[in-house]
Chains A and B, each alone.
Chain A
Amino acid sequence: MRVYQFSEQPYYPTWNDHSGSLRVILPNRKCDPRIAADLFHRYYDEYQACDDLGIDIMLNEHHQSATCMSSAVVVGLSVLARATKKARLLVLGYPIGHRPDPLRVAEELATIDVISRGRLDMGFIKGIPYEIAASNRNPVELMERFWEAHDFILKAMTTHDGTFNWEGEYFHYRQVNIWPRPWQEPQPPVWSTTGSTEQARVLGERGYVMATLGTGYGTRKIYDAYRKSYLAKFNRAPTADRFAYLGLVAVAKDKEEARRRGHLIAGYLRTSSIVHLPFRNPPGYLPVEDNARLMRGETPPRSFTKDGRSINMHAATVEDLIDAGILFCGTPDEVYAQIVDFCEHCGGMGNLLMMAHGGELTHAQTIDNLTLFAAEVLPRLRSYRQPDAEAAAAVVAA
């Protein structure tokens, strides 16, 4: 198993000082650039520590938000491509459907791949609903733009013998020939995220690495949708390295300290949905049928515990989050056992996207969390034998 550390690089000092929205409309006067600078340097120090500890690195971006200061993820990738030596750099992700210029995206990511000498993992994402207000991209055709941008970026990264022409529905170029070309062949690995079985099916057909967040013990059905379409397309089972899961991780020598850390890291979950209501579901972002259900007041639960109980991850207790496989928390032995149990539930999961920092967890706590994990959990996860991929796929096929 590979383990990537992820932090949203939050500006947490405003978390108790907002008027109902930490995103989109929270005035940036509340952001003190001096404090922001200190936080950025701290977060990059923690990422560099991961490089030394043998933990890979994941970055993302959100916009106009105190929950995540990384608004232009290429900046973080640029800092770390040069400052780290070993860690893979996963961007999960790049909201390419929002971008006006996919040529620029191809150039940025190819350059990062070269500077890092082939350490980039390239996650393309739709982006959460709140991003629409900032980009002003039409939510109705976001995925059509996404796939055209995706097709263009891959073509730009894999065309090496001169220029090509692109006159698509959304993007127009006549002389495309990016410099530098990416280090990895044919291009950096492609990742994406989803919470739906339908999108899982699409990703399975392409064989991309698929990540989910907050799906807990409801993850298996999403993975199985991927397995089914992957199997149909490639005539073999997808191995565990095709699957990724974002879980909060709090490790400590004693259980009580781990619970305290888990509670602080879960500040990420408690704040992530504090958004002014109209920005939560722009028209067209969800299918009409889903919107009609929401209008009728039907909101299907998303997170489930192992015994099938639904929880609200934005308000859940530490214990509920542990039961739901959203937070892996405890002593190193306990955390290892929880992660393995989750992998077995999934039928294999080869990439843990570990949020070992979140919210108001201090620098010292974060470093201790990472160090203990690297020393006592990571080696065991590396030698852990994933469930048999063919057996997991055979169940789905049957």
Chain B
Amino acid sequence: MLQRTDSGSNSLTVEGTRVDLIERGGGRPLLFLHAENGIEPAHAAIDELAKSAHVIAPTHPGFGRSDTPNGMRTVDDLSYFYLDLLDQLELREVTLVGVAFGAWIAAEIAVKTTARLARLVMANAVGIKIGDRETRDIADVFALTEPEYLEIAYCDPDAGGRDYKSLPPGEVAAAARAREATARFAWSPYFHNPRLKSRLHRIRIPTLFLWGAHDRMVGEAYGRAYCAMISGARFETIERAGHFPHQEQPQIFAKRVLSFVDGK
């Protein structure tokens, strides 16, 4: 079912939904779920991870060039897509790694079943509501200008800025599609599922929370509270990184993940 496409990346069809997929490296299987800014900013981290793991990094339905199936509109839907993908590829003892929006998907997968999972890594995760109804846990990024967004999402705002006028058309379209897909899945309730918090106790595999320390879109206190809801989960910060630590510190990010895979 895994097919090589003209562009060199792989393509996978799961229950009729075709997605792009990067498969690289060897060894223990690692399913990488990208953040809301898409797969391109994750390439460096994927390369690092692939030095010691068999990395499978799909582009989520609705993002990049992947299909958007009719009626797929929640992260719950995405989690079932990935449960089907794990079954189809017959993966076992998988390390599931999600960043930001991808970590929300990871949590939604893990509360359903961890049968194919060995470990879980949640980086700058969203997906739950911590504060009261008038407290915004997660900055309203759709009410910010691009410079304002880069300022709170990155340790170094220049790391996130992209010059769309000089990028290839495919990458500009992918960025536009990432923005639309994020809204599709995270518009309201905003970046969370009100039901998820009460299900987190079901995650009983070793879990690591990584947190880019300069994330001002979702603060560290939110991450620590989230972490405390999963039994035995460990919390570590990554310096000189914001909401996308895999993008700003790909080597450190990969090192922390791989060392966790090694049981350290």
Binding site for B on A (CB under 8 A): 133, 136-141, 169, 276-279, 282-284, 288-289, 291-292, 295-297
Contact = CB atoms under 8 A, between A and B. Distances in A.
Interface string B72-101: 010000000000000000000000000000
Main secondary structure of the interface of A (DSSP, over half): helix
A291 B145 contact: no
A278 B183 contact: no
Nearest to B183: A283
Nearest to B177: A288
A282 B184 contact: no
Most buried by A among B176, B177, B182, B187: B176
Given A141-B73, A278-B143, A278-B145, A296 B184 contact: no
Nearest to B190: A136
Main secondary structure of the interface of B (DSSP, over half): helix
Given A133-B143, A140-B183, 12 more contacts: A138-B73, A276-B143, A278-B144, A284-B183, A288-B173, A288-B177, A288-B180, A289-B173, A291-B179, A292-B176, A295-B176, A297-B164
A290 to B, nearest CB: 9
Contacts of A284: 180, 183-184
B165 interface: yes
B263 interface: no
Contacts of B145: 277-278
B198 interface: no
B175 interface: yes
B180 A296 contact: no
Interface band, chain B: 20 to 34
Contacts, number: 59
A289 B172 CA distance: 9
A169 B73 CA distance: 11
B72 to A, nearest CB: 11
B71 interface: yes
Contact of B187 (A140, A276, A291): A140
B73 to A, nearest CB: 7
Interface of B: 71, 73, 142-145, 164-165, 169, 172-173, 175-177, 179-180, 182-184, 187-188
Contacts of B71: 169
A322 B187 CA distance: 41
B56 to A, nearest CB: 26
A140 B173 CA distance: 16
Given A138-B188, A278-B142, A279-B143, A296 B183 contact: no
Nearest to B179: A283
B169 A292 contact: yes
28 contacts: A133-B143, A137-B188, A138-B73, A139-B183, A140-B73, A140-B183, A140-B187, A141-B73, A141-B184, A169-B71, A276-B143, A278-B143, A278-B144, A278-B145, A279-B143, A282-B183, A283-B142, A283-B179, A283-B180, A284-B183, A284-B184, A291-B176, A292-B169, A292-B176, A295-B176, A296-B169, A296-B172, A297-B165
Contacts of A278: 142-145
A274 to B, nearest CB: 15
B149 to A, nearest CB: 9
